[in-house]
Structure 1
Amino acid sequence: MRSLPPPSARPVDLSAARRVAVDAAEAAGALLSAGVAGPLTVRAKGTAGDVVTDLDMAAEKVILGRLRAAYPGHRVIAEESGILDGAPGEEMVWLVDPLDGTNNVAIGMPVYAVGLALCARAEPVLGVVHDPVTGRTWSAVRGEGAVGPDGESLSLAGRPRPERKGNFVLAWTQGHQVSAGDPVASGLRAALEGRCARMLQLWAPLVAWTMLARGDIDGMVGYLPEIVDLPAGALLAAEAGAEFRRLDGRPYRLGIDRPASELGFVAARPELLDRLLETTTKFQDG
Protein backbone atom coordinates (compact mmCIF):
# COMPACT_ATOMS: atom_id res chain seq x y z
CA MET A 1 0.00 0.00 0.00
CA ARG A 2 2.73 2.40 -1.06
CA SER A 3 0.29 5.10 -2.07
CA LEU A 4 -3.44 4.59 -2.11
CA PRO A 5 -5.21 5.21 -5.42
CA PRO A 6 -7.28 8.38 -5.54
CA PRO A 7 -11.06 8.01 -5.29
CA SER A 8 -12.98 8.14 -8.53
CA ALA A 9 -14.69 11.39 -7.56
CA ARG A 10 -13.52 14.30 -5.44
CA PRO A 11 -16.49 16.13 -3.94
CA VAL A 12 -14.24 18.72 -2.27
CA ASP A 13 -10.95 20.43 -2.99
CA LEU A 14 -8.68 18.32 -0.79
CA SER A 15 -5.87 20.89 -0.84
CA ALA A 16 -8.23 23.45 0.62
CA ALA A 17 -9.63 20.90 3.06
CA ARG A 18 -6.08 20.11 4.20
CA ARG A 19 -5.48 23.79 4.96
CA VAL A 20 -8.71 23.98 6.97
CA ALA A 21 -7.88 20.81 8.88
CA VAL A 22 -4.30 21.86 9.63
CA ASP A 23 -5.50 25.25 10.85
CA ALA A 24 -8.12 23.63 13.07
CA ALA A 25 -5.71 21.05 14.50
CA GLU A 26 -3.03 23.62 15.22
CA ALA A 27 -5.50 26.02 16.84
CA ALA A 28 -6.69 23.20 19.09
CA GLY A 29 -3.08 22.25 19.77
CA ALA A 30 -2.25 25.78 20.90
CA LEU A 31 -5.15 25.64 23.33
CA LEU A 32 -4.00 22.27 24.65
CA SER A 33 -0.36 23.23 25.10
CA ALA A 34 -1.40 26.35 27.00
CA GLY A 35 -3.76 24.43 29.24
CA VAL A 36 -1.95 21.23 30.17
CA ALA A 37 0.17 22.97 32.80
CA GLY A 38 -2.87 24.37 34.61
CA PRO A 39 -5.44 22.65 36.83
CA LEU A 40 -7.53 20.11 34.95
CA THR A 41 -11.05 18.93 35.54
CA VAL A 42 -10.87 15.17 34.95
CA ARG A 43 -14.01 13.07 34.80
CA ALA A 44 -14.60 9.38 34.21
CA LYS A 45 -15.85 8.49 30.74
CA GLY A 46 -17.69 5.22 30.54
CA THR A 47 -16.82 2.20 32.66
CA ALA A 48 -13.59 1.05 30.97
CA GLY A 49 -11.19 3.46 32.71
CA ASP A 50 -11.29 6.19 30.07
CA VAL A 51 -11.39 9.85 31.16
CA VAL A 52 -12.29 13.22 29.68
CA THR A 53 -11.05 16.67 30.67
CA ASP A 54 -12.18 20.22 30.13
CA LEU A 55 -9.37 20.50 27.57
CA ASP A 56 -10.92 17.76 25.41
CA MET A 57 -14.16 19.71 25.27
CA ALA A 58 -12.53 23.08 24.62
CA ALA A 59 -10.24 21.74 21.87
CA GLU A 60 -13.15 19.99 20.17
CA LYS A 61 -15.18 23.20 20.22
CA VAL A 62 -12.35 25.01 18.43
CA ILE A 63 -12.11 22.33 15.76
CA LEU A 64 -15.85 22.03 15.20
CA GLY A 65 -16.17 25.78 14.83
CA ARG A 66 -13.65 25.84 12.00
CA LEU A 67 -15.02 22.76 10.26
CA ARG A 68 -18.61 23.96 10.44
CA ALA A 69 -17.64 27.38 9.13
CA ALA A 70 -15.81 25.92 6.13
CA TYR A 71 -18.05 22.90 5.43
CA PRO A 72 -21.49 23.43 6.99
CA GLY A 73 -22.99 20.55 5.03
CA HIS A 74 -20.48 17.88 6.04
CA ARG A 75 -21.24 15.32 8.70
CA VAL A 76 -18.93 15.12 11.72
CA ILE A 77 -18.11 12.29 14.10
CA ALA A 78 -16.38 13.84 17.10
CA GLU A 79 -14.85 12.09 20.09
CA GLU A 80 -16.89 14.00 22.66
CA SER A 81 -19.88 15.39 20.74
CA GLY A 82 -20.72 12.22 18.84
CA ILE A 83 -22.39 12.35 15.42
CA LEU A 84 -23.32 15.76 14.04
CA ASP A 85 -25.55 15.51 11.00
CA GLY A 86 -24.84 17.32 7.76
CA ALA A 87 -26.87 18.09 4.68
CA PRO A 88 -29.26 15.34 3.48
CA GLY A 89 -27.41 12.77 1.40
CA GLU A 90 -23.98 14.21 2.28
CA GLU A 91 -21.23 11.61 1.81
CA MET A 92 -18.37 13.60 3.32
CA VAL A 93 -17.72 13.01 7.01
CA TRP A 94 -15.06 14.39 9.33
CA LEU A 95 -13.65 12.35 12.21
CA VAL A 96 -12.33 14.49 15.04
CA ASP A 97 -10.13 13.44 17.95
CA PRO A 98 -9.39 16.71 19.80
CA LEU A 99 -7.07 15.12 22.36
CA ASP A 100 -5.68 11.67 21.69
CA GLY A 101 -3.90 10.73 24.90
CA THR A 102 -6.23 12.21 27.50
CA ASN A 103 -5.16 9.69 30.12
CA ASN A 104 -1.55 10.77 29.56
CA VAL A 105 -2.42 14.44 30.01
CA ALA A 106 -4.37 13.63 33.16
CA ILE A 107 -1.23 12.23 34.81
CA GLY A 108 1.10 14.89 33.45
CA MET A 109 2.77 12.82 30.71
CA PRO A 110 3.39 14.93 27.58
CA VAL A 111 2.39 12.36 24.96
CA TYR A 112 -0.74 13.42 23.11
CA ALA A 113 -1.95 14.62 19.71
CA VAL A 114 -4.82 16.11 17.74
CA GLY A 115 -6.24 14.18 14.78
CA LEU A 116 -8.66 14.97 11.98
CA ALA A 117 -9.68 12.82 9.04
CA LEU A 118 -12.02 13.47 6.13
CA CYS A 119 -13.77 10.47 4.62
CA ALA A 120 -15.66 10.15 1.34
CA ARG A 121 -18.17 7.31 1.29
CA ALA A 122 -16.49 5.88 4.43
CA GLU A 123 -13.02 5.92 2.83
CA PRO A 124 -10.41 8.29 4.32
CA VAL A 125 -9.14 10.79 1.77
CA LEU A 126 -7.40 13.27 4.09
CA GLY A 127 -5.62 12.87 7.41
CA VAL A 128 -3.98 15.44 9.68
CA VAL A 129 -2.10 14.78 12.92
CA HIS A 130 -0.73 17.61 15.07
CA ASP A 131 1.63 17.16 18.02
CA PRO A 132 1.15 20.13 20.40
CA VAL A 133 4.22 19.14 22.43
CA THR A 134 6.63 19.72 19.53
CA GLY A 135 4.40 21.98 17.45
CA ARG A 136 4.74 19.68 14.44
CA THR A 137 2.00 18.69 12.00
CA TRP A 138 1.83 15.81 9.52
CA SER A 139 -0.79 15.34 6.81
CA ALA A 140 -1.70 13.04 3.95
CA VAL A 141 -4.05 13.12 0.96
CA ARG A 142 -5.13 9.80 -0.49
CA GLY A 143 -3.06 8.94 -3.54
CA GLU A 144 -0.81 11.99 -3.15
CA GLY A 145 1.53 10.91 -0.35
CA ALA A 146 2.23 12.19 3.15
CA VAL A 147 4.15 15.29 4.19
CA GLY A 148 5.86 16.45 7.35
CA PRO A 149 6.06 19.78 9.19
CA ASP A 150 8.23 21.49 6.58
CA GLY A 151 6.39 20.07 3.59
CA GLU A 152 8.92 17.27 3.11
CA SER A 153 7.64 13.98 1.73
CA LEU A 154 7.46 11.05 4.09
CA SER A 155 8.62 7.79 2.57
CA LEU A 156 9.65 4.61 4.31
CA ALA A 157 11.33 3.55 1.09
CA GLY A 158 13.64 6.53 1.32
CA ARG A 159 14.55 5.98 4.95
CA PRO A 160 16.69 2.96 5.83
CA ARG A 161 15.62 0.95 8.81
CA PRO A 162 17.74 1.83 11.86
CA GLU A 163 20.17 -0.83 12.98
CA ARG A 164 18.72 -2.44 16.09
CA LYS A 165 19.89 -5.03 18.52
CA GLY A 166 17.23 -7.71 18.45
CA ASN A 167 14.12 -7.52 16.35
CA PHE A 168 11.73 -4.76 15.36
CA VAL A 169 10.22 -1.99 17.49
CA LEU A 170 6.43 -2.02 17.51
CA ALA A 171 3.60 0.09 18.85
CA TRP A 172 0.47 -1.51 20.29
CA THR A 173 -3.00 0.03 20.44
CA GLN A 174 -6.32 -1.26 21.68
CA GLY A 175 -9.75 0.23 22.16
CA HIS A 176 -11.04 1.50 25.48
CA GLN A 177 -13.66 -1.24 25.45
CA VAL A 178 -10.95 -3.92 25.79
CA SER A 179 -10.85 -5.09 29.40
CA ALA A 180 -7.63 -5.61 31.32
CA GLY A 181 -8.19 -9.36 31.36
CA ASP A 182 -9.17 -9.78 27.70
CA PRO A 183 -7.53 -13.11 26.77
CA VAL A 184 -7.16 -12.28 23.08
CA ALA A 185 -5.52 -8.92 23.72
CA SER A 186 -3.18 -10.21 26.41
CA GLY A 187 -2.21 -13.29 24.42
CA LEU A 188 -1.56 -11.45 21.20
CA ARG A 189 0.39 -8.72 22.94
CA ALA A 190 2.54 -11.26 24.78
CA ALA A 191 3.22 -13.20 21.58
CA LEU A 192 4.37 -10.05 19.82
CA GLU A 193 6.48 -8.87 22.74
CA GLY A 194 8.33 -12.15 22.61
CA ARG A 195 9.48 -11.40 19.07
CA CYS A 196 10.30 -7.69 19.17
CA ALA A 197 13.02 -5.60 20.76
CA ARG A 198 10.51 -3.22 22.30
CA MET A 199 6.76 -2.70 22.25
CA LEU A 200 5.49 0.81 22.84
CA GLN A 201 2.13 1.32 24.54
CA LEU A 202 1.79 5.07 24.32
CA TRP A 203 -1.99 5.29 24.86
CA ALA A 204 -1.93 7.92 22.12
CA PRO A 205 -2.06 5.98 18.84
CA LEU A 206 -1.86 9.09 16.67
CA VAL A 207 1.62 9.70 18.07
CA ALA A 208 2.58 6.13 17.20
CA TRP A 209 1.20 6.50 13.67
CA THR A 210 3.47 9.49 13.03
CA MET A 211 6.43 7.50 14.33
CA LEU A 212 5.65 4.71 11.87
CA ALA A 213 5.19 7.15 8.98
CA ARG A 214 8.58 8.72 9.77
CA GLY A 215 10.27 5.33 10.05
CA ASP A 216 11.13 5.76 13.74
CA ILE A 217 9.44 2.46 14.55
CA ASP A 218 8.94 -0.62 12.41
CA GLY A 219 5.27 -1.45 12.81
CA MET A 220 2.04 -1.10 14.71
CA VAL A 221 -0.58 -3.64 15.76
CA GLY A 222 -4.14 -2.75 16.74
CA TYR A 223 -6.78 -4.81 18.50
CA LEU A 224 -10.36 -3.46 18.46
CA PRO A 225 -8.99 0.06 17.90
CA GLU A 226 -10.94 3.27 18.41
CA ILE A 227 -12.52 4.32 15.11
CA VAL A 228 -12.28 8.09 15.68
CA ASP A 229 -8.47 8.20 15.77
CA LEU A 230 -7.77 5.39 13.28
CA PRO A 231 -8.25 6.95 9.81
CA ALA A 232 -6.04 10.04 10.21
CA GLY A 233 -2.98 8.16 11.42
CA ALA A 234 -3.49 5.07 9.27
CA LEU A 235 -3.77 7.15 6.10
CA LEU A 236 -0.59 9.00 7.06
CA ALA A 237 1.32 5.73 7.47
CA ALA A 238 -0.17 4.16 4.34
CA GLU A 239 0.76 7.13 2.18
CA ALA A 240 4.29 7.00 3.60
CA GLY A 241 4.57 3.40 2.40
CA ALA A 242 3.44 1.21 5.30
CA GLU A 243 1.70 -2.02 4.36
CA PHE A 244 -1.50 -3.16 6.08
CA ARG A 245 -3.14 -6.51 6.77
CA ARG A 246 -5.83 -7.78 9.07
CA LEU A 247 -4.59 -9.79 12.04
CA ASP A 248 -5.38 -13.03 10.20
CA GLY A 249 -3.40 -11.91 7.14
CA ARG A 250 -6.34 -11.01 4.95
CA PRO A 251 -6.39 -7.69 3.05
CA TYR A 252 -7.15 -4.63 5.12
CA ARG A 253 -9.24 -1.72 3.93
CA LEU A 254 -9.00 1.74 5.50
CA GLY A 255 -12.76 2.19 5.72
CA ILE A 256 -14.86 3.27 8.70
CA ASP A 257 -18.02 1.37 7.78
CA ARG A 258 -17.12 -1.92 9.46
CA PRO A 259 -17.61 -3.30 12.97
CA ALA A 260 -14.73 -2.88 15.42
CA SER A 261 -14.05 -6.63 15.29
CA GLU A 262 -12.91 -6.23 11.66
CA LEU A 263 -10.63 -3.25 12.35
CA GLY A 264 -7.79 -5.17 13.98
CA PHE A 265 -4.67 -4.62 11.92
CA VAL A 266 -0.97 -5.10 11.38
CA ALA A 267 0.82 -2.12 9.79
CA ALA A 268 4.52 -2.22 9.07
CA ARG A 269 7.40 -1.52 6.77
CA PRO A 270 6.79 -3.75 3.72
CA GLU A 271 9.89 -5.84 4.29
CA LEU A 272 8.83 -6.71 7.84
CA LEU A 273 5.12 -7.36 7.37
CA ASP A 274 5.39 -11.10 6.76
CA ARG A 275 7.46 -11.57 9.91
CA LEU A 276 4.78 -9.90 11.99
CA LEU A 277 2.03 -11.89 10.34
CA GLU A 278 3.80 -15.11 11.27
CA THR A 279 2.93 -14.26 14.86
CA THR A 280 -0.51 -12.73 14.47
CA THR A 281 -1.90 -15.39 12.11
CA LYS A 282 -0.68 -18.27 14.26
CA PHE A 283 -2.25 -16.65 17.27
CA GLN A 284 -5.50 -16.05 15.40
CA ASP A 285 -5.52 -19.66 14.32
CA GLY A 286 -5.50 -20.71 17.93
Structure 2
Amino acid sequence: MAVAAAEEAGALLRARFGEAHTVRSKGDGGDVVTDLDLASEEVVLAALRTHFPHDRIVSEEAGLLDAAGSRTWLVDPLDGTNNVAIGLTAYAVGIALCVDGSPVVGVVHEPVTGRTWRAALGQGAWCDGRRLTGPCGRSPASGPVLAWTQGHAVGRGDGRALALRGALELHARRVLQLWAPLLGWTMLASGTIDGYVGYRAEGVDFPAGALLASEAGVEFRTLAGGAFQVGFDGPDSGRSFVAARGEMLPSLLDLVSAASPAAARG
Protein backbone atom coordinates (compact mmCIF):
# COMPACT_ATOMS: atom_id res chain seq x y z
CA MET A 1 0.00 0.00 0.00
CA ALA A 2 2.76 2.48 0.92
CA VAL A 3 4.50 1.89 -2.41
CA ALA A 4 1.27 2.43 -4.36
CA ALA A 5 0.45 5.60 -2.40
CA ALA A 6 3.93 7.07 -2.91
CA GLU A 7 3.83 6.31 -6.63
CA GLU A 8 0.35 7.78 -7.04
CA ALA A 9 1.46 10.96 -5.27
CA GLY A 10 4.61 11.00 -7.39
CA ALA A 11 2.63 10.80 -10.60
CA LEU A 12 0.63 13.83 -9.51
CA LEU A 13 3.81 15.76 -8.68
CA ARG A 14 5.42 14.88 -12.00
CA ALA A 15 2.35 15.87 -14.01
CA ARG A 16 1.92 19.20 -12.23
CA PHE A 17 5.56 20.11 -11.61
CA GLY A 18 5.50 23.16 -13.89
CA GLU A 19 2.37 24.51 -12.21
CA ALA A 20 3.71 24.69 -8.65
CA HIS A 21 3.11 27.90 -6.78
CA THR A 22 3.85 28.91 -3.22
CA VAL A 23 0.95 28.76 -0.80
CA ARG A 24 2.77 30.15 2.24
CA SER A 25 6.13 30.53 3.90
CA LYS A 26 7.11 28.10 6.65
CA GLY A 27 9.36 29.33 9.44
CA ASP A 28 12.05 31.97 9.29
CA GLY A 29 14.61 30.01 7.27
CA GLY A 30 13.12 30.60 3.82
CA ASP A 31 11.20 27.31 3.54
CA VAL A 32 7.89 27.34 1.68
CA VAL A 33 4.81 25.21 1.16
CA THR A 34 3.43 24.81 -2.35
CA ASP A 35 0.08 23.65 -3.62
CA LEU A 36 1.82 20.45 -4.74
CA ASP A 37 2.83 19.61 -1.14
CA LEU A 38 -0.81 19.77 -0.15
CA ALA A 39 -2.13 17.85 -3.16
CA SER A 40 0.43 15.06 -2.74
CA GLU A 41 -0.31 14.89 0.97
CA GLU A 42 -4.03 14.43 0.29
CA VAL A 43 -3.26 11.39 -1.88
CA VAL A 44 -1.08 9.69 0.71
CA LEU A 45 -3.28 10.50 3.70
CA ALA A 46 -6.37 9.21 1.91
CA ALA A 47 -4.65 5.88 1.30
CA LEU A 48 -3.42 5.57 4.88
CA ARG A 49 -6.80 6.44 6.37
CA THR A 50 -8.50 3.91 4.12
CA HIS A 51 -6.17 1.00 4.82
CA PHE A 52 -5.05 1.82 8.39
CA PRO A 53 -7.83 3.87 9.98
CA HIS A 54 -6.65 3.22 13.53
CA ASP A 55 -2.98 4.15 13.04
CA ARG A 56 -1.38 7.41 14.09
CA ILE A 57 -0.09 9.65 11.27
CA VAL A 58 2.49 12.43 11.37
CA SER A 59 2.61 14.33 8.09
CA GLU A 60 4.88 17.18 7.03
CA GLU A 61 2.11 19.71 6.39
CA ALA A 62 -0.96 18.33 8.17
CA GLY A 63 0.96 17.65 11.37
CA LEU A 64 -0.24 15.03 13.84
CA LEU A 65 -3.35 13.00 13.10
CA ASP A 66 -3.49 11.23 16.42
CA ALA A 67 -4.72 7.76 17.30
CA ALA A 68 -4.03 5.17 19.95
CA GLY A 69 -1.48 2.41 19.55
CA SER A 70 2.20 1.90 18.83
CA ARG A 71 2.07 2.32 15.03
CA THR A 72 2.89 5.69 13.48
CA TRP A 73 3.04 6.55 9.79
CA LEU A 74 5.40 9.37 8.80
CA VAL A 75 4.66 11.21 5.55
CA ASP A 76 6.80 13.66 3.63
CA PRO A 77 4.58 14.29 0.59
CA LEU A 78 7.15 16.47 -1.18
CA ASP A 79 10.72 16.31 0.05
CA GLY A 80 12.48 19.08 -1.88
CA THR A 81 9.78 21.74 -1.88
CA ASN A 82 12.32 24.55 -2.21
CA ASN A 83 13.79 22.83 -5.26
CA VAL A 84 10.36 22.57 -6.88
CA ALA A 85 9.65 26.21 -6.08
CA ILE A 86 12.67 27.30 -8.16
CA GLY A 87 12.09 24.76 -10.93
CA LEU A 88 14.79 22.25 -9.91
CA THR A 89 13.78 18.65 -10.58
CA ALA A 90 15.19 17.11 -7.39
CA TYR A 91 12.40 15.94 -5.12
CA ALA A 92 10.82 12.80 -3.68
CA VAL A 93 7.91 11.34 -1.74
CA GLY A 94 8.69 9.56 1.51
CA ILE A 95 6.57 7.28 3.70
CA ALA A 96 7.66 5.33 6.78
CA LEU A 97 5.92 3.14 9.33
CA CYS A 98 7.37 3.21 12.82
CA VAL A 99 6.44 0.84 15.65
CA ASP A 100 7.31 2.05 19.13
CA GLY A 101 9.31 4.86 17.52
CA SER A 102 11.54 2.70 15.29
CA PRO A 103 11.07 2.31 11.52
CA VAL A 104 9.90 -1.04 10.17
CA VAL A 105 8.85 0.07 6.65
CA GLY A 106 10.37 2.77 4.46
CA VAL A 107 9.40 3.90 0.95
CA VAL A 108 10.97 6.63 -1.17
CA HIS A 109 9.67 7.42 -4.66
CA GLU A 110 11.45 9.74 -7.08
CA PRO A 111 8.88 11.06 -9.55
CA VAL A 112 11.40 12.33 -12.12
CA THR A 113 12.93 8.89 -12.79
CA GLY A 114 9.95 6.82 -11.69
CA ARG A 115 12.17 4.77 -9.36
CA THR A 116 10.91 3.50 -6.02
CA TRP A 117 13.12 2.42 -3.14
CA ARG A 118 11.58 0.31 -0.38
CA ALA A 119 12.74 -1.47 2.74
CA ALA A 120 11.21 -3.57 5.48
CA LEU A 121 12.98 -4.36 8.73
CA GLY A 122 15.04 -7.52 8.33
CA GLN A 123 14.06 -7.98 4.68
CA GLY A 124 16.62 -5.81 2.90
CA ALA A 125 16.35 -2.71 0.75
CA TRP A 126 15.21 -2.85 -2.86
CA CYS A 127 14.82 -0.62 -5.90
CA ASP A 128 12.67 -1.82 -8.79
CA GLY A 129 13.41 -5.49 -8.12
CA ARG A 130 17.13 -5.07 -7.37
CA ARG A 131 18.44 -5.67 -3.87
CA LEU A 132 20.64 -2.83 -2.63
CA THR A 133 23.98 -3.39 -0.92
CA GLY A 134 25.10 0.18 -0.26
CA PRO A 135 28.56 1.66 -0.87
CA CYS A 136 31.66 -0.53 -1.04
CA GLY A 137 32.92 0.93 2.23
CA ARG A 138 36.39 1.94 1.03
CA SER A 139 37.23 5.62 0.76
CA PRO A 140 38.34 6.56 -2.80
CA ALA A 141 41.85 7.95 -3.12
CA SER A 142 40.34 11.25 -4.25
CA GLY A 143 38.21 11.43 -1.11
CA PRO A 144 34.65 10.35 -0.36
CA VAL A 145 31.45 11.76 -1.82
CA LEU A 146 29.15 12.60 1.07
CA ALA A 147 25.66 13.92 1.62
CA TRP A 148 24.89 16.47 4.33
CA THR A 149 21.58 17.35 5.95
CA GLN A 150 20.55 19.65 8.77
CA GLY A 151 17.18 20.38 10.32
CA HIS A 152 15.06 23.42 9.57
CA ALA A 153 15.64 24.74 13.08
CA VAL A 154 19.42 25.00 12.58
CA GLY A 155 20.35 28.65 12.12
CA ARG A 156 22.79 29.88 9.49
CA GLY A 157 25.26 30.90 12.16
CA ASP A 158 25.11 27.65 14.14
CA GLY A 159 28.73 27.03 15.15
CA ARG A 160 28.54 23.25 15.16
CA ALA A 161 26.91 23.06 11.75
CA LEU A 162 29.47 25.46 10.28
CA ALA A 163 32.38 23.51 11.79
CA LEU A 164 31.06 20.17 10.58
CA ARG A 165 30.38 21.34 7.03
CA GLY A 166 33.75 23.04 6.89
CA ALA A 167 35.60 19.88 7.93
CA LEU A 168 33.70 17.78 5.40
CA GLU A 169 34.27 20.25 2.57
CA LEU A 170 37.99 20.32 3.35
CA HIS A 171 38.53 16.56 3.22
CA ALA A 172 35.77 15.12 1.00
CA ARG A 173 35.74 15.09 -2.78
CA ARG A 174 32.17 16.38 -2.84
CA VAL A 175 29.59 17.29 -0.19
CA LEU A 176 26.03 17.19 -1.52
CA GLN A 177 23.48 19.53 0.05
CA LEU A 178 20.40 18.57 -1.90
CA TRP A 179 17.49 20.33 -0.16
CA ALA A 180 15.87 16.89 -0.47
CA PRO A 181 17.41 14.60 2.17
CA LEU A 182 15.57 11.50 0.98
CA LEU A 183 17.49 11.59 -2.31
CA GLY A 184 20.72 11.42 -0.33
CA TRP A 185 19.47 8.27 1.38
CA THR A 186 18.56 6.63 -1.92
CA MET A 187 22.06 7.33 -3.23
CA LEU A 188 23.70 5.95 -0.08
CA ALA A 189 21.55 2.81 -0.13
CA SER A 190 22.32 2.37 -3.85
CA GLY A 191 26.06 2.79 -3.27
CA THR A 192 26.56 5.84 -5.47
CA ILE A 193 27.84 7.97 -2.58
CA ASP A 194 30.07 6.96 0.31
CA GLY A 195 28.47 8.38 3.43
CA TYR A 196 25.95 10.72 5.02
CA VAL A 197 26.37 13.18 7.88
CA GLY A 198 23.40 14.82 9.57
CA TYR A 199 23.04 17.50 12.19
CA ARG A 200 19.71 17.75 14.01
CA ALA A 201 17.94 16.11 11.05
CA GLU A 202 14.20 16.43 10.54
CA GLY A 203 12.14 13.66 12.12
CA VAL A 204 9.49 13.12 9.43
CA ASP A 205 11.71 12.16 6.50
CA PHE A 206 14.62 10.65 8.46
CA PRO A 207 13.26 7.15 9.33
CA ALA A 208 12.26 6.14 5.79
CA GLY A 209 15.68 6.99 4.36
CA ALA A 210 17.62 5.67 7.33
CA LEU A 211 15.85 2.30 7.14
CA LEU A 212 16.70 2.05 3.43
CA ALA A 213 20.36 2.64 4.22
CA SER A 214 20.41 0.34 7.23
CA GLU A 215 18.84 -2.53 5.30
CA ALA A 216 21.47 -1.98 2.56
CA GLY A 217 24.27 -2.57 5.08
CA VAL A 218 24.97 0.99 6.19
CA GLU A 219 25.88 1.53 9.84
CA PHE A 220 25.08 4.54 12.03
CA ARG A 221 27.02 6.32 14.74
CA THR A 222 26.59 9.51 16.72
CA LEU A 223 28.92 12.35 15.80
CA ALA A 224 31.09 11.27 18.71
CA GLY A 225 31.23 7.67 17.46
CA GLY A 226 28.78 6.11 19.89
CA ALA A 227 25.80 3.86 19.25
CA PHE A 228 22.95 5.50 17.35
CA GLN A 229 19.28 4.55 17.41
CA VAL A 230 17.25 5.44 14.32
CA GLY A 231 13.89 6.96 15.21
CA PHE A 232 11.77 10.10 15.06
CA ASP A 233 10.69 10.70 18.66
CA GLY A 234 12.52 13.06 20.97
CA PRO A 235 14.44 16.29 20.35
CA ASP A 236 16.21 16.89 17.05
CA SER A 237 19.54 16.95 18.92
CA GLY A 238 19.20 13.16 19.00
CA ARG A 239 19.25 13.00 15.19
CA SER A 240 22.87 14.01 14.59
CA PHE A 241 24.65 11.11 12.95
CA VAL A 242 27.33 9.64 10.72
CA ALA A 243 26.23 6.88 8.32
CA ALA A 244 28.45 4.69 6.13
CA ARG A 245 29.51 1.09 5.58
CA GLY A 246 31.63 -0.30 8.42
CA GLU A 247 34.94 -0.01 6.56
CA MET A 248 34.30 3.67 5.87
CA LEU A 249 33.08 4.67 9.31
CA PRO A 250 36.44 5.22 11.06
CA SER A 251 37.74 7.64 8.44
CA LEU A 252 34.41 9.47 8.26
CA LEU A 253 34.29 9.80 12.04
CA ASP A 254 37.84 11.18 11.89
CA LEU A 255 36.61 13.87 9.48
CA VAL A 256 33.78 14.74 11.82
CA SER A 257 36.03 14.87 14.87
CA ALA A 258 38.31 17.27 12.97
CA ALA A 259 35.47 19.78 13.07
CA SER A 260 36.29 20.50 16.75
CA PRO A 261 35.55 18.77 20.03
CA ALA A 262 32.39 20.86 20.43
CA ALA A 263 30.99 19.76 17.08
CA ALA A 264 31.79 16.12 17.70
CA ARG A 265 29.68 16.14 20.88
CA GLY A 266 26.53 17.00 18.87
Which TM-score bucket, shorter chain as reference?
over 0.9
Match of 1:35 among 4, 16, 34: 16
Gaps of 5+ in 2: none
| Cα shift at 1:281 | 3.1
CA–CA distance in structure 2, aligned partners of residues 163 and 278 of structure 1: 12
Q: Is the 8 A contact 1:28 1:59 kept in 2?
A: yes
The number of residue pairs the alignment matches comes to 262
Q: Report whether the alignment pairs 1:281 with 2:257.
A: yes
CA–CA distance in structure 2, aligned partners of residues 282 and 252 of structure 1: 20
Q: Is the 8 A contact 2:124 2:216 kept in 1?
A: yes
SS at match of 2:247: helix
CA–CA distance in structure 2, aligned partners of residues 271 and 80 of structure 1: 38
Q: Report whether the alignment pairs 1:196 with 2:155.
A: no
Give the 3 Å change call, closer, same or farther, for CA 56–118 of structure 1 in structure 2: same
SS at match of 1:194: helix
Q: In the alignment, what sits opposite 2:125?
A: 146
Q: In the alignment, what sits opposite 2:223?
A: 247
| Cα shift at 1:39 | 4.6
Q: In the alignment, what sits opposite 2:41?
A: 60
Equivalence map 1:178-257=2 (5 Å): 178-257=154-233
Give the 3 Å change call, closer, same or farther, for CA 270–28 of structure 1 in structure 2: same
Q: Which amino acid aligns with 1:206?
A: L
Q: Which amino acid aligns with 2:197?
A: V
Q: Report whether the alignment pairs 1:133 with 2:75.
A: no
CA–CA distance in structure 1, aligned partners of residues 235 and 159 of structure 2: 20
CA–CA distance in structure 1, aligned partners of residues 60 and 139 of structure 2: 38
Q: Which amino acid aligns with 2:238?
A: E
Q: Is the 8 A contact 1:165 1:197 kept in 2?
A: no
Q: In the alignment, what sits opposite 2:30?
A: 49
Q: Is the 8 A contact 2:137 2:244 kept in 1?
A: no
| Cα shift at 1:161 | 6.4
Q: Which amino acid aligns with 1:153?
A: R
Q: In the alignment, what sits opposite 1:7?
A: none
Equivalence map 1:77-156=2 (5 Å): 77-86=58-67, 88=68, 90-149=69-128, 151-156=129-134
Q: Which amino acid aligns with 2:85?
A: A
SS at match of 2:19: coil
| Cα shift at 1:269 | 2.1
Q: In the alignment, what sits opposite 2:247?
A: 271
| Cα shift at 1:258 | 2.5
Gaps of 5+ in 1: 1-19
Q: Is the 8 A contact 2:20 2:34 kept in 1?
A: no
Give the 3 Å change call, closer, same or farther, for CA 163–120 of structure 1 in structure 2: closer
Using the size of structure 2 for normalisation, the TM-score is 0.95
Q: Which amino acid aligns with 2:95?
A: L
| Cα shift at 1:127 | 0.2
Q: Is the 8 A contact 2:137 2:248 kept in 1?
A: no
1:113-149: CA deviations, max 9, x gaps? 0000000010100000000010000000011111111
1:185-230: CA deviations, max 9, x gaps? 0111001111110101101010010000000000000001110000
